Amino acid sequence: MAPPSVLIIGGSGAVGRPLVQEFVNNKEKFGRIGVLSDARKVSKFSELPNQGVEVVVGSFLEAASYKGFDTVICVCGNATMKLQPGMIDAAIAGGVRHFYPTEFGSDLSYGTNGKIRYFRDKIITREHLRDRAKEFPGFSYTLVLTGAFTDWTASDFNQIDLKKHTARPYGVPEALVTVTALADVVKYTVQSVLLPLEENQQRRELRLGAETLTWKALMETLEEVQGVKYDTVWLDPRETEAKEEEARVKGDVEAEIMWSGIRLQATGVAHMEGPFDNARFSLKPETVKETFQRLHGKK
């Protein structure tokens, strides 16, 4: 069988950049590797052609942009997730046979996660993929579930100041969180493209978690790595609900999604249950301590 040809949407984003780089590191295993770019934004990808990556200039919503690629990986961000049904239809019309929607996070079917605003466009996209797979028997898709990125836990996102050693996360210390380092998320994703599907399989869910621990343990690991004690105050996540609602009423969709996202980590939403698929990959993921040492440890 010919090696897969992969087109990435969102290649300039926080996940997109390291993902493209991981494809470059493994380029001999793939046919074509491309990033899809709006004509006004090609300069963001100027270094890629020298690395063997094609910059495909075109619309995300037109079939012509997808010609010659069999797999699409979408890593678009909060503001553009809702455009994915249109991308999927254009991709199928252009001949794409496998689609990865922008998931890379929590288990959307866990607990009451399905009701969370942040996941709304991801759920609509899942439903769209399910419906298209029924219509097109040769079409399949992969959902990559990784829990929270370890890198994002100890960050501004959770109001953790790594220099002043203060933490104001919205949540509770006992909340469980499943984490995977972004560097491993991209390695798993690239390797997954080469994992064969089962016969007639159209929906594949990959559950990948490096570690599951409480937020208290996570903060203690950060303290151990940095050799300092944090001034930590656990904030009531209901405060973010009020801010999310305020943004919704104002019509500020980005702020609405952001406030919904801020309470995803220290409240148990990013906890995933097994069985996990890690053993299907040739990769030993970083532990939380290893990631914190790499990112925040003494140099």
Ligand X SMILES: NC(=O)c1ccc[n+]([C@@H]2O[C@H](COP(=O)([O-])OP(=O)(O)OC[C@H]3O[C@@H](n4cnc5c(N)ncnc54)[C@H](OP(=O)(O)O)[C@@H]3O)[C@@H](O)[C@H]2O)c1
Of 30, 99, 139, 149, which one interacts with ligand X (CB under 6 A)? 149
- The two tokens of residue 171 are 């949540």
Q: Tell me how far CA of residue 7 lies from CA of 20, 33, 34, 157, 202, in angstroms.
A: 10, 6, 5, 29, 19
Which lies closer to ligand X via its Cβ, residue 3 or residue 162? 162
Residue 18 in the binding site for ligand X (CB under 6 A): no
First-to-final CA distance of the chain: 46
Q: Which residue in 12, 159, 212, 287 binds ligand X (CB under 6 A)?
A: 12
What's the Rg (C-alpha) of the chain?
Answer: 19
Cβ nearer to ligand X, comparing 34 with 105: 105
**Rule CB under 6 A: which of 106-135 touch ligand X?**
none
Which one of 146-154, 195-203, 214-222, 242-250 is the stretch in contact with ligand X (CB under 6 A)?
146-154
Query: Does 259 participate in binding ligand X (rule CB under 6 A)?
Result: no
The yes or no reply on residue 171 touching ligand X (CB under 6 A) is: no
CA distance 104 to 86: 20
Q: Site for ligand X (CB under 6 A): which residue of 42, 83, 255, 283?
A: 83
Residues across the chain = 299
Strands (E), 59-188: 71-74, 98-100, 140-145, 148-149, 160-161, 166-167, 176-180
Q: Residue 26, interface with ligand X (CB under 6 A)?
A: no
Provide the binding-site residues for ligand X, judged by CB under 6 A: 9-16, 41, 44, 60, 75-77, 80, 83, 102, 104-105, 146, 148-149, 152
